[in-house]
Amino acid sequence: MKKIQKEITPEFRKNAVQWLEEVCIEAKCEIVVFPLAISLMDRFLSKKFVPKMHLQALASACLLISGKVKAPVPLTPKTIAYYTDGAVTVEQLLEWELAVTATLNWHFYSPTPFEFFDQILSRTSKFSELKKLFQKACYRLFQGSFQLSLIFCVFYATDFFLILT
């Protein structure tokens, strides 16, 4: 990704991830929408140059696609554009959706931690509590800070074991 992205730094990516997290929480998106949006964004960034001023438009398009793939009732382009506070219009969002679609050749699905987590822990009585903790841990992991990721993994792993016992 570093070879292609000359303007987007890890800090810019982190800000885009945080914005996506805030939108997903505020809009009460399905839990699996957020990680797929990040996956789509990262895959696009590894293939095509994106000027930093268009990163939010890309993130918005990835959220739109992710919702269409994963959510029973996805966010509309108008709703997503609203969350950009005017930075991205509906028309721009739809143009970026086409760009992502073409660049990824309609290959939207990629496994995220949630697909495995649901399968592994679906038989425990504490499933809903664990799912919320796991969601928080994954949000932090997707923000890209390795040191914070380790801290959150240790913290949430401890919580997982306490809940299970």
Last residue of a domain, one of 103, 126, 154: 103
Same structural domain, 80 and 147: no
pLDDT in tens, 1-55: 678 898 999 999 999 999 999 999 999 998 889 999 999 999 999 999 999 999 9
Domain tally for the chain? Answer: 2
* CB contact at 8 A, 62 and 98: no
Same structural domain, 141 and 94: no
Share of the chain above pLDDT 70, in %: 69
Domain-embedded: residue 58: yes
Last residue of a domain, one of 103, 121, 153: 103
Same structural domain, 35 and 78: yes
Residue 84 has pLDDT above 80, yes or no: yes
Helices (H), the chain: 10-26, 33-45, 55-70, 77-83, 90-103, 113-121, 127-142, 146-164
Distance in Å from the first CA to the final CA of the chain: 42
Same structural domain, 78 and 157: no
**What is the rounded CA–CA span in Å between residue 106 and residue 102?**
7
Mean pLDDT, residues 81-106: 97
Domain-embedded: residue 2: no
Q: What is the per-residue pLDDT for 152?
A: 47
Same structural domain, 70 and 40: yes
Same structural domain, 18 and 91: yes
Same structural domain, 85 and 139: no
Same structural domain, 90 and 24: yes
Q: What is the per-residue pLDDT for 112?
A: 72
Containing structural domain, residue 22: 10-103
Same structural domain, 159 and 83: no
